[in-house]
Chains A and B, each alone.
Chain A
């Protein structure tokens, strides 16, 4: 790729980027969120067209008008959000979008094909299983297989480890290594330094749309050097935590269980209590029941069994809890936490408007001044208060939601993946606010980011397949190392006690 430039309204996503991909190598593309990694790869895989620059394969300069064009040239991408049809089988998904067969599907032949391709890369998959029966790790394997079946020479993976457990990550890495052994190239998009050091043969670092470094792993002196290149400054990421006296219990769960949207048991036998003055974290890989748990606590879905005491009141019957007295930062900040096409005033009042209603009347005009102050206090960068929420960047939107939830002075704050997908600057600011909130509230933090959990929390519960594996104190230094394995379901020498 030579001189690739791509401009989006308001952002220069790629600024004259050069990138060389060699066969038989795993190439890591490292950068923060918004650095332009995904855009660059979307150009290579034919989803976007560059404003400037060219793609050269061998001696030829090529132009792709669609992902299908790119596939014809042997370039395929596995997106972060899988493009699979849930109610079709593995085999049916595999032939999706192929030109052949034109009319008749020969199921038996399809099956044999799936097994043949799978075997040659030691990717075992049952062709008859439906996609929605598979774990995310298995679905990812289908995506990879789909591309191998199309004989790609360059395989692009966008943050492939985000949804995987540690053992699944190891398996993915083995698969990728066997793919490059066959002379194919792999491009691996990530912002995780450990992964880069583990499998990359070459490293390209992007920052603000430009290439800032091109390295071999041997040349990297330390991880912090990579971090500095990626962020462009020294990264501290340490938060000062003054001890705060513990006060009353604000949230208590007693032996709770609940279902997911499809009616399967999502979590069971969950018991814990959160006190004012502490941050209690539930850490786990996405998809282990934690989002269903939060939905049940906040009343968005019913609990199946067990008891929830929220600020002393019994809840959990599937009636959304009033958010006047508690703060709740939901995981899905665009889809649930905000009103993308309404202005910031409407967004800031979403969970607190009822306190400004007099009878049935509600006038937001006189509130504007105060809300502008709130925005600047939380460092939300917005041109005007009457722009739409979707015009804000992810970090600013999250700060807005935080401002809204904290402005209620809640005694309980539930923060679900509060920094997911944010850059390091925004992450730092949000962490500071959460720590500060500990002085007046109890916090329930749900996160998949172990680093975040370790920097913020006082106590940590590890969730795996819907069960709390254990709860440990953040000061129990000897046992911190057990958290990672526990997230993958491995519990050292304590099986006899069973889970809580």
Chain B
């Protein structure tokens, strides 16, 4: 018997969703193999993860806490991917957003009412991340420098710059050597839902998703971005200014990742410190592709991946497995999801 792959005339929507389901199952299966290899019972491990993520209202709230930066980073990736640009620099843009917000919190917030302080921090976080991404955007738009390389490299620059700040000039004088800035004044704290760590950043994420969903389908910008992403030659033929769109998309993308940084520093840590750049920028790539770049889908995708992260943490405390198992699972998931795209474009035929 022979297996033949035949190209479909049009990508199939059904196959695309079936592929998504199959790839999640395959990823879980691969995860089982990994659990077995470290001597753990996969069923028990998944049980622990499930309970860890959804076992109580508090656990659920922790999932939402992690979903906030994932949502914003996922939207960041989606905005650039729609125009066919790979922004791999979410992590660095997130760091810059955190730095921008921290600058406002440390130097201006003490003299401002809370509403003003937070508004200013949002603007600073957005612009800092946006401008950082614009470096890669500018190089791409004007000189056709590969944005995958530049945006990735800029991550290292951003993270070292951030470390330099909290180890050096911005270091908390009373921190007894702890790597971080002083605690922000209370006026710079994002309000939280009572009894949880879920903060106002959730509203930012959901609002951004709604606005983007609308913008993609109902604005001139959305149409032009769709055309460029699908066929840049046709866009040029139709007179759409491609470079300008790339610059704006990169700025917007970086700005969203920057908001994630702001949300982390002023919603969770209340200071700029080690542990801000823990990979949300990269996981955002998985969120975006898992959700097939649909902004509203990204909300769900972010919650799903956050639950794997939170559940993965439980593996550490309950089963003494490394918490990075969660990251391994997410990597496997991306692997299969990207692979499953093949199913929507090809039909598998079995020939006797």
If A339-B231, A340-B231, A350-B227 touch, whether A320 touches B220 (CB-CB below 8 Å) is no
Q: Tell me the chain B residues, 200-242 only, with Cβ under 8 Å from chain A.
A: 218-223, 226-227, 230-231, 233-234, 236-239
B220 touches A342 (CB 8 A): no
Stretch at the interface among A74-82, A355-363, A486-494: A355-363
Query: 0/1 per residue, B227-266, Cβ < 8 Å to A?
Result: 1001101101111000000000000000000000000000
A320/B227 contact (C-beta < 8 A), A360-B221, A362-B218 known:
no
Q: Mark A362-400, 1 if CB is under 8 A from B, else 0.
A: 111000000000000000000000011011000000000
Docked-complex contact A391 and B223, CB < 8 angstroms: no
> Cβ of B7: which chain A residues have Cβ within 8 Å of it?
9
Segment of A17-25, A222-230, A329-337 engaged in the interface with chain B: A329-337
Chain B residues with CB under 8 A of A350? 227, 234, 237-238
Say whether A361 contacts B234, CB under 8 Å: no
Contacting B at CB under 8 A, from A306-348, are: 320-323, 328, 330, 332, 335-342, 346
B195 within 8 A of A: no
Q: Categorize the interface residue count of chain A.
A: 35 or more
For B10, the chain A residues whose CB sits under 8 A away are: 387-388, 390-391
CA distance A10 to B239 in the complex (A): 35
Chain B positions within 8 Å of A300 at CB level: 236-237
Q: Interface residues of B, CB < 8 Å — how many? A: 22
Residue A473, interface by CB 8 Å: no
Task: Please tell me if the beta carbons of B239 and A321 are within 8 angstroms of each other in the complex.
Answer: yes
Q: Determine the main DSSP class of B at the interface with A.
A: helix
Q: Is the CB of B8 within 8 A of A9?
A: yes
Q: Hey, which chain A residues are within 8 Å of B236, CB to CB? A: 300, 320
Least distance between A185 CB and chain B CB atoms (Å) = 31
- Asked if residues B237 and A336 are in contact (CB atoms below 8 Å), the reply is yes
Whether B230 pairs with A339 at a CB distance below 8 angstroms is yes
- Inter-chain contact A351/B223, CB cutoff 8 Å: no
| Contact call B239/A353, Cβ cutoff below 8 A | no
Which residues of chain B are near A323, meaning CB under 8 Å? 237-239
10 A-B pairs with least C-beta separation: A320-B239, A362-B220, A357-B220, A336-B233, A339-B230, A9-B9, A350-B238, A336-B237, A351-B238, A388-B10
User: Taking beta carbons and an 8 Å cutoff, which residues of A are in contact with B?
Assistant: 9-10, 298, 300, 320-323, 328, 330, 332, 335-342, 346, 349-351, 353-354, 357, 360-364, 387-388, 390-391
28 contacts between A and B (CB under 8 A): A9-B7, A9-B8, A300-B236, A320-B237, A322-B239, A323-B239, A330-B237, A335-B234, A336-B237, A338-B231, A338-B234, A339-B227, A339-B230, A339-B234, A340-B230, A342-B230, A349-B223, A350-B238, A351-B239, A353-B223, A353-B238, A360-B221, A362-B219, A363-B218, A387-B10, A388-B10, A390-B9, A391-B10
